[in-house]
Structure 1
Amino acid sequence: MDGNILDPDGARERLAAWKGRIEQLAADTQTMSSRLQEVRVTATDPGGLVEVTIDSTGALVDLTLSGRMESTKPDVVSRTIMETLAAAKNQLADRSQEIIADTVGTESPAARAIAESVGNHLRSEPARDAAATPESDAEEGFEDRSFLERG
């Protein structure tokens, strides 16, 4: 009829449409969840010293150090690991937000809240300023800067 809520046929149609949207949202949310759980990200520092792999939660699942590690100061190795891990988490946040947009969209407040929460959970703060790190005497054959400090 005229969309009157008291119209039984119209009410059934609106209810059926609402049920269809809810069922589609549930299916999209399940797809999103499955795809998010499968994500793994591998990142390598530009100098090829470190490769890290993280799972969908941002947890480190693999770490590979190249032979260059032997000629690099330990503090540089550890800093490079942490910087590469942070870069991997940022990539994971980007990929997760793409999956959210592809599956449930970005139109609803709930989808935007999920994407924001994922980003806040995974993204790291910018790397610590190199000027705040005390300089040590350079040892022959040791690389004394992390990949982010190098041009």
Structure 2
Amino acid sequence: MDHSILDPDSAKERLREWKDRIDKLAADTRTMSERLQGVRATATDPSGLVEVTIDSTGSLVDLKLTSKMQSTKPDVVAQTIMQTLAEAKNQLADQSQQIIAETVGTDSPAARAIAESVGNQLRSEPVQKTDSAETDHEDDDYENRSFLKKD
């Protein structure tokens, strides 16, 4: 078959193929959107002080603090929460980019732009630990300290 633009049968076939590609892209995009909306990420800090859960937008939806926080300085607790939140956002970015790759692929410039945008929006640099943050709660004897005692 001649693929001349003047050949009506060839033109109809090209239009049908184009429509099929557009329909598949639309279906894949709907699937991607549905899956992205349902994504959640949960992260726990290495010392087991904090667990955070975020939704698909990166918003905090759950925060769990263990009893270890009672004997940990408030600034260390706050920093640990922020570090753990950053880790959860990085996990969410990874999961979201994986969903994008699985549903719409990474071949098209549009798909790559979506994946990059999601990564830029969600991904955060981990908060740097300070020396005091590491030693203040890792070496504490949580069982034998009063949370009322001032440090």
TM-score of the aligned structures, taking structure 2 as reference length: 0.86
Identity %: 72
Q: What's 2:59 paired with?
A: 59
Tell me, in whole angstroms, the C-alpha distance in 1 between the residues paired with 2:126 and 2:54: 19
Q: Deviations over 1:13-58 (max 9, x none)?
A: 0000000000000000000000000001111001100000000000
* Number of residue pairs aligned between Structure 1 and Structure 2: 137
Q: What's 1:100 paired with?
A: 100
Select the residue among 125, 128, 136 that pairs with 1:144. Answer: 136
List gaps (5 residues or longer) in structure 1: 137-142, 147-151
Q: What's 2:73 paired with?
A: 73
Return the offset for 1:70: 0.2
Tell me, in whole angstroms, the C-alpha distance in 2 between the residues paired with 1:44 and 1:64: 9
Return the offset for 1:129: 5.7
After the TM superposition, which parts of structure 1 deviate over 6 Å for at least 4 consecutive aligned residues? Answer: none
TM-score of the aligned structures, taking structure 1 as reference length: 0.86
Q: For residues 95 and 60 of structure 1, do their structure 2 counterparts lie closer, same or farther at Cα, with a shift above 3 Å needed?
A: same
Q: Give the superposed CA RMSD.
A: 1.6
Q: What's 2:149 paired with?
A: none
Map of 1:97-136 to 2, 5 A cutoff? 97-128=97-128, 130=130
List gaps (5 residues or longer) in structure 2: 139-151
Could you tell me which amino acid in structure 1 is paired with residue 136 of structure 2?
A: D
**CA contact under 8 A between 2:87 and 2:126: conserved in structure 1?**
no
Could you tell me which amino acid in structure 2 is paired with residue 44 of structure 1?
A: T
Q: For residues 53 and 126 of structure 1, do their structure 2 counterparts lie closer, same or farther at Cα, with a shift above 3 Å needed?
A: closer
Map of 1:27-66 to 2, 5 A cutoff? 27-66=27-66
Return the offset for 1:144: 1.5
Tell me, in whole angstroms, the C-alpha distance in 1 between the residues paired with 2:35 and 2:106: 17
Q: What's 2:9 paired with?
A: 9
**CA contact under 8 A between 2:50 and 2:64: conserved in structure 1?**
yes
Could you tell me which amino acid in structure 2 is paired with residue 68 of structure 1?
A: K
Give the helix-richer structure, 1 or 2: 2
